[in-house]
Chains A and B, each alone.
Chain A
Amino acid sequence: MGRIGSLTLGIITAIGGFVDMGELVTCSQAGAQYHFALLWTVVVGVLGIMVYAEMAGRVAITSGRTLIDVIRERLGWRIASISMVVATLVNVLTIVIEISGMALVLQIVTGISYLWWLPVTALLIAGILWFSSFKLIENGASLLGLGILIFVVAAVKMNPPWSEVGRQLIIPSIPGGTGLSAYAFSAVSLIGAFMTPYEIYFYSSGAIEEEWTGKDFVTNRMTTIIGFTFGSLIVISMMVVAAQTFFLHGLKSASFGSIPVPVVSALGIGGLAVFAFGAFADTGGAALEASLSTGYSIAQFFGWDWGQEHNPRQAPAFVFTYLVAILVAVIIGLTGVDPIQLTIYTTALAAFSLPFTFIPLLIVANDEVYMGDMRNGFLANISSGFFLIILTIVTIATIPLFILSGGGGG
């Protein structure tokens, strides 16, 4: 495949892979509860992940090494171990919610409880990881996940007040009669959904798996900027259709079955079929990426052989790690914990954990020894510094907001 073809594929997969269980749940609930008033979080979250994913890709290309590997060498094992442990905790919870998402789609399609489907989806994820190459995993799920663009189609069909949508994307507002702590906790969960740590570890390790070189700086930049920008259109649409369907009629988005309701209302049963297909692929893709990210961060921290391009026998500790992570995830899921509530908590925890990954990344990206001429410029430092301040505030505020809002329920 030529460079243009590879770039196009990278952008398309970034769009298709943008949505996961976190976005499905938090965007639907935010639209239903706060109409357009949380749309501004899309701008913050997407610009933030764009800046840091580009940086992680640049560090991987320049140093030829992954993020956790460079952090361990540059900042020592103590700092690296904090990043690794926090990321692993969030990754495992992410696997729980993603395999639950797959199982909930199957519940909609078959009528059989998602708890029966959980072991099946976990086995499916483990099987795909065991037998498939990195490229197939990265591109396959994301291409199939493009079905989730059905939300954009539904939004266009509903024809919401677009000028109001545009205004609320830029200017934060708080609807009257709303508890401030519940609103702020929802904002934190949304930002965590858009900026999940596994995305950074997967992106960084993927650059090494695909053997990116100096010629791929453009691919790195274009994939993050164009792919994530178009990806953001999906989550904006998800929030808008939920707002138009639920909020305007005083209804709630209370379960996973609520998420496709706006699509079915606008587009009929065909919309539900496309949603089910796209959502299954998207949550499956995220489960694959979060599982690999768990293996990546732990194997890279301990200096084990790692990589999806290896035969499982060539990197046994790496494979064992992600298989254990999937097993732990399915056990947590089978306890019957509410997957919707767990998704909200996991995305909030993801937001809380981001500085533990982003601060070391920022330090490394500014290090001339590792980065040479490709170290952060003025613009990269200003933008990443800005988002870091926001994320630090989010980190400090998450736990008090969780308590004040009664776990996000207001």
Chain B
Amino acid sequence: MAVLVVVAGLWVFSGLTGQSSVHQQVATVQAEQTAVARPTPTATP
């Protein structure tokens, strides 16, 4: 029983931290936030 719980726990942990669609979307959001926070430098003559 304890082994099953540990295996299930590891499975869930790897699912939560793995490459799910959630993390892909979070990465997109964070990229957008970074782009907004860092304005494009204007060219100087």
Chain A positions near chain B (C-beta within 8 angstroms): 108-111, 245-246, 249-251, 255, 257-258, 260-262, 264-265, 269, 272-273, 276
Chain B residues in 8 Å Cβ range of A251: 25, 28-29, 32
Q: Within 8 Å CB of A250, what residues of B?
A: 32
Q: CA–CA, A286 to B11, complex, Å? A: 26
Q: How many A-B residue pairs have CB under 8 A?
A: 50
CA gap between A353 and B28 in the complex, in Å: 39
Task: Tell me whether A276 and B16 are in contact (CB under 8 A).
Answer: yes
Task: Give B11-30 as 1s and 0s: 1 = Cβ < 8 Å from A's Cβ atoms.
Answer: 11001111011110110111
| Residue from B11, B15, B17, B26 within 8 A of A265 (CB atoms) | B26
Residue B40 lies at the interface, judged by CB distance under 8 Å to chain A = no
Does B26 contact A109, Cβ atoms closer than 8 Å? no
Contact A249 B29 (CB under 8 A): yes
B16 & A257 in contact (Cβ 8 Å cutoff) = no
Chain A residues near B28: list those with CB within 8 A: 251
**B21, A109: Cβ atoms under 8 Å?**
no
Q: Point out the residues of chain A lying under 8 angstroms from B32, CB to CB.
A: 249-251
Query: Contact check: which of A111, A249, A258, A260 meets B15 at CB < 8 Å?
Result: A111
Question: 26 A-B Cβ contacts within 8 A?
Answer: A108-B15, A108-B16, A108-B21, A109-B12, A110-B12, A111-B15, A111-B18, A249-B33, A249-B36, A250-B32, A251-B25, A251-B28, A257-B20, A257-B22, A257-B25, A261-B22, A261-B25, A261-B26, A262-B29, A264-B22, A264-B26, A265-B26, A265-B30, A272-B16, A272-B22, A276-B16
Give Cα A156–Cα B2 distance, bound, in whole angstroms.
Answer: 38
Q: Is the CB of B15 within 8 A of A109?
A: yes
B: number of interface residues (CB 8 Å) = 18
Give the distance in Å from the alpha carbon of A255 to the alpha carbon of B25 in the complex: 10
Task: Please state if A245 and B17 are interface contacts (CB–CB under 8 Å).
Answer: no
The 3 closest A-B pairs by CB, nearest first: A257-B21, A249-B32, A109-B15
A261 adjacent to B29 (CB under 8 Å) = yes
Closest chain B CB from A272 CB (angstroms): 6
Q: Which residues of B lie under 8 Å from residue A258 when comparing CB positions?
A: 25
Instruction: Report Cα–Cα, A159/B36, bound state, in Å.
Output: 17
What is the chain B residue whose CB lies nearest that of A254?
B25
Kindly list 11 other residue pairs between chains A and B, CB separation below 8 angstroms, not including A257-B20, A262-B29. A108-B16, A111-B15, A111-B20, A251-B28, A251-B32, A257-B25, A261-B22, A261-B26, A264-B26, A269-B16, A272-B16
Q: Which residues of A contact B29 (CB under 8 A)?
A: 245-246, 249, 251, 261-262, 265
Q: How far is the CB of B31 from chain A (nearest CB, A)?
A: 9
Please, which residues of chain B bring their CB within 8 A of the CB of A261? 22, 25-26, 29
Contact B15 A110 (CB under 8 A): yes
Min CB gap B16→A, angstroms:
6
Chain A contacts for B25, CB-based, 8 A: 251, 257-258, 261
Contacts of B20 in A (CB 8 A): 108, 111, 257
Instruction: Give the chain B neighbours of A273 by CB distance below 8 A.
Output: 16
